[in-house]
């Protein structure tokens, strides 16, 4: 069973970079696609992006609405992947979830428990 656990700061200042890491157990980093999803308080889910291996090279895709603010990376030696979101504002305050694709398919099969990241000075 795939298990995911987010970790990161409890608070981020406006204009700074939000950084989160997701620790993975129960799966190989090369066999799935790894996603980031967020949910502002009281609102719906927003897809941020995914990272994974395609033809032995790492590929990333991110939500066009977030522009170039999103950077993702993957560390197979530590079984974890990471998200950096630059130039944050209060609108980036949300519960951030890491997730993985379903077995042998696409989309989201497994979820982390989520971590609330407030953006405030």
Partner 1 sequence: QTVVTQEPSFSVSPGGTVTLTCGLSSGSVSTRNYPNWFQQTPGQAPRTLIYNTNSRSSGVPGRFSGSILGNKAALTIAGAQADDESAYYCLLHLGSGIWMFGGGTKLTVL
Q: Where along the sequence are the contacts to partner 1 (CB under 8 A)?
A: 35, 37, 44-47, 50, 59, 61, 63-64, 97, 102, 105-114
What's the half-sphere exposure (Cβ side, CA atoms, 13 Å) at 32? 27
Phi/psi region, residue 42 (left: phi>0; alpha: psi -120 to 50; beta: rest), is: left
Smallest distance, partner 1 to C-beta of residue 99, A: 9
In 3D space, the residue among 120, 121, 109 whose CA is nearest the CA of residue 37 turns out to be: 109
Measured from the CB atom, the residue of 15 and 113 that comes closer to partner 1 is 113
Smallest distance, partner 1 to C-beta of residue 65, A: 8
Smallest distance, partner 1 to C-beta of residue 59, A: 7
Distance CA 21, CA 121 (A): 22
> DSSP state, 5?
E
Measured from the CB atom, the residue of 59 and 84 that comes closer to partner 1 is 59
Measured from the CB atom, the residue of 50 and 81 that comes closer to partner 1 is 50
Q: What is the dihedral of CA 33, 102, 62, 87, to 10 degrees?
A: -90
Smallest distance, partner 1 to C-beta of residue 44, A: 5
Measured from the CB atom, the residue of 16 and 61 that comes closer to partner 1 is 61
């Amino acid at each position: 069973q795939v298990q995911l656990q987010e970790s990161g700061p409890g608070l981020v200042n406006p204009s700074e970079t939000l950084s989160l890491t997701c620790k993975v157990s129960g799966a190989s980093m090369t066999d799935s696609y790894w996603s980031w999803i967020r949910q502002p308080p009281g609102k719906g889910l927003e897809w941020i992006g995914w990272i994974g291996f395609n033809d032995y090279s790492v590929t990333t895709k991110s939500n066009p609405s977030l522009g170039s603010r999103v950077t993702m990376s993957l560390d197979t030696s530590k079984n974890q992947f990471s998200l950096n979101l630059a130039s944050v504002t209060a609108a980036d305050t949300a519960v951030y979830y890491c997730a993985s694709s379903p077995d042998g398919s696409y989309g989201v099969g497994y979820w982390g428990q989520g971590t609330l990241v407030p953006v405030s000075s």
